[in-house]
Chains A and B, each alone.
Chain A
């Protein structure tokens, strides 16, 4: 049986919006693809480009940053700081041969549990279409 490629996504979710949205998806039992691994940061502005590159370097198939909607940042404008960094980082990643679908910045408010599902499912689908970024040696879960 041909195995479906399961991309691994490292997700940086801000504590106040997107992490809570993922919690809400949980309490609302909104089922979605299990490919994202969430790292909680206080604000999307905390996401150092080094984290993104490190995740790609260590074999992530995709990196997702989730923050509050523009204007709604718990820290007033950390998400705008993230936006600026991401704009430049995106250009750099492109030059490094990393397809743009692999790196996403999404605004997901604490109320948008459904959107967590939409974004993750959509990203997984796109990453599946792209195929593995690097071919990590996988061992089956015992």
Chain B
């Protein structure tokens, strides 16, 4: 086994990455310059180093050339550091004798001038060659994985992930903020493009969640704190009270009937505000759990203390209702977490030119979903606010989307749901339906066919972005109508289309508290607030927080099949962790040289993980290797240089600086 003993012998391997690197960086001259660098005994360039044959080069050179340090100049260490470490280890050398140089993402893909790119590559290579000479053999430690999983969010993503894990025998905590699981999907009537009934496919899964022995379902609850790390997360869940005990309630709903309010008087959130509910309610008939909620903002007892409390009477000796119940906090321990917190729809008021909130018959698509839904406020009848059935309907695509002033992205689902709503509206009312679109995007299985079907159904499509919706009639045919002003870009003229009803196809956006959620789980998110996957292609459900996975629209807009697929993938990733039982950690921890530590305590408050303890007896600081996460803040702060960090030793970084600034 060749180890670091004796003289440092470095092998330098430069990857062409096809033309990705070689087209911009002169790999031949880079290899030639490697030959002049200290301790370098082998230098090679190769088409694809990450390929088997590329790795073989390294694997063979280590014993044959007695190499004890390896430098690979290729792509980002975030992509292939593990690959090359494994190759080094396979040859019997400690994997931490490897250093990577990022000459692709940081050089060839971002620079054009070949000479400058090559010069930069030489600097970074020299830095790595100097650095790697200072590397030491390190051992990874393993941390055990707690087998329980937390799933945050009870929409279709969370439901599917939870069921997948539970069916594999794992215990899942499913935490949902709303009183019921089901998420946005529960609000839909039909799903595109197959037009199967959302409830028919969703509610059995919701019931399965409730019934599953392996799932602890906490609705009306929120994760408020997450501590720990992969394998061992401590999670605090705040469970709001519904004033109805879930364990005692049988779901008979007699209390709803008994409420002093004969009719609903308060905004029904589930019906997008199109209906009213009582102070005691369940969001919708198939809600899971089938346990009512009392809204203290609306309930007479909470507001005046002078209610006859007929609900309690109706509950009788089941004693499920109590006004004294209080919010609780649960502390749980899990090994991995699936974040499936979903999306919110674009607030159409932010596009005031469409008159939402001004003209009663301007609806958002989500409202229309409720209108067309058989269990919705109108039992599936598409009617205007005054009860009339619309004869003409205009559907405005891309509301809030693909717009510099609001959201820049395409929300992916709006074209298809607009087509679906057009179909349903036409089916229910026989109305003439106009779609106003920028582009019709139908890149999914059966999507284009569905579009063709709509064309055959004589739904109108006008290509153009609607400028405004107005009720200002210019001629008698427009009286009493909403007029859509639009440039028909195919006909090349500005048109005014009078309609009875306007549907705004609002885009999907991150929830307003996405940034907070992102911080709580130590993930990263894009500027707009969608959570970032670890790698867009190769790790689409992983995050930069180990053991935290993503599913559904919190990662970006997507339709139901994609969401379910992603939820399955997230569950599979969690299963990999659980079934492997433990995970290897990066050995980049900080450690004190206790012989020379003066016990000045500078480091102690700097550690956010409380990994540094002050030994009262010895009067020294000690860093717990299991809880240290390797940020190195204490290392930079230690005034006497008595804290060091594996993999990021001061000497190694000084060598990099030296390497960068030494002119060849």
Contacts and interface: CB of A to CB of B under 8 A. Distances in A.
Interface of A: 6, 8, 10, 16-17, 19-20, 22-23, 25-27, 29-32, 34, 37-43, 45-51, 54-55, 58-60, 68, 71-72, 74-78, 81-82, 85, 109-112, 117, 136-139, 141-142
A43 B631 CA distance: 5
Given A17-B524, A81-B637, A112-B527, A141 B664 contact: yes
B117 interface: yes
Contact of A26 (B104, B119, B662): B104
B664 A42 contact: no
Which of A60, A75, A82 is packed against the most chain B CB atoms within 10 Å? A75
A34 B105 contact: no
Given A23-B76, A34-B113, A34-B116, A48 B123 contact: no
B527 A42 contact: no
Interface stretch (B238-246, B472-480, B648-656): B648-656
A105 to B, nearest CB: 14
Contact of A75 (B112, B118, B608, B664): B608
Given A34-B120, A55-B661, A141-B119, 13 more contacts: A6-B116, A8-B660, A29-B110, A34-B110, A34-B116, A37-B120, A43-B632, A58-B662, A74-B544, A81-B636, A111-B524, A111-B525, A142-B29
B102 interface: yes
Contacts of A48: 635-636, 650, 653
Nearest to A72: B519
Contacts of B606: 45, 81
B382 interface: no
Nearest to B20: A26
B608 A51 contact: no
A110 B636 contact: no
A17 B632 CA distance: 16
A120 to B, nearest CB: 9
Nearest to A21: B524
25 contacts: A10-B657, A10-B661, A16-B524, A16-B544, A20-B524, A23-B106, A25-B105, A30-B110, A37-B120, A38-B102, A38-B106, A42-B631, A51-B654, A54-B654, A58-B658, A72-B519, A74-B524, A74-B545, A75-B608, A110-B524, A110-B532, A110-B544, A111-B524, A136-B663, A141-B118
B657 A51 contact: yes
B119 A41 contact: no
The 4 closest A-B pairs by CB, nearest first: A26-B105, A46-B632, A45-B633, A75-B631
B282 interface: no
B532 A111 contact: yes
Interface of B: 29, 32-33, 76-78, 102, 104-107, 109-113, 115-120, 122-124, 127, 518-519, 522, 524-527, 532, 536, 544-545, 588, 606, 608, 629-633, 635-637, 645, 648, 650, 653-654, 656-658, 660-664
Contact of B124 (A37, A76, A109, A117): A37
Nearest to B26: A141
A42 B588 contact: yes
A58 B104 CA distance: 26
A31 B124 contact: no
Contact of A41 (B106, B116, B545, B653): B653
B664 A139 contact: yes
B608 A77 contact: yes
B167 to A, nearest CB: 33
A34 B117 contact: yes
Nearest to A22: B106
B109 A27 contact: yes
B110 A32 contact: yes
Contact of A58 (B120, B524, B650, B657): B657
B663 A39 contact: no
Nearest to B100: A40
Contacts of B113: 34
Nearest to B526: A111
> Which of B33, B544, B632 has the most CB atoms of chain A within a 10 A radius of its CB?
B632
Contacts of A78: 608, 631-633
A128 to B, nearest CB: 14
Contacts of A30: 110
Contacts of A40: 77
A82 to B, nearest CB: 8
Nearest to A139: B663
Contacts of A6: 116
A20 B33 contact: no
Contacts of A138: 663
A75 B544 contact: no
Contacts of B632: 41-43, 45-46, 78
A90 B349 CA distance: 46
A23 B653 contact: no
B657 A85 contact: no
A81 B16 CA distance: 39
A50 B650 contact: yes
Interface centre among B106, B110, B527 (most CB of A within 10 A): B110
Contacts of B123: 37
B633 A27 contact: no
Nearest to B586: A42
Contacts of B105: 22-23, 25-27
Contacts of B124: 37-38
A34 B525 contact: no
B133 to A, nearest CB: 16
Contacts of B112: 31
A133 to B, nearest CB: 12
A58 B658 CA distance: 7
Nearest to A68: B524
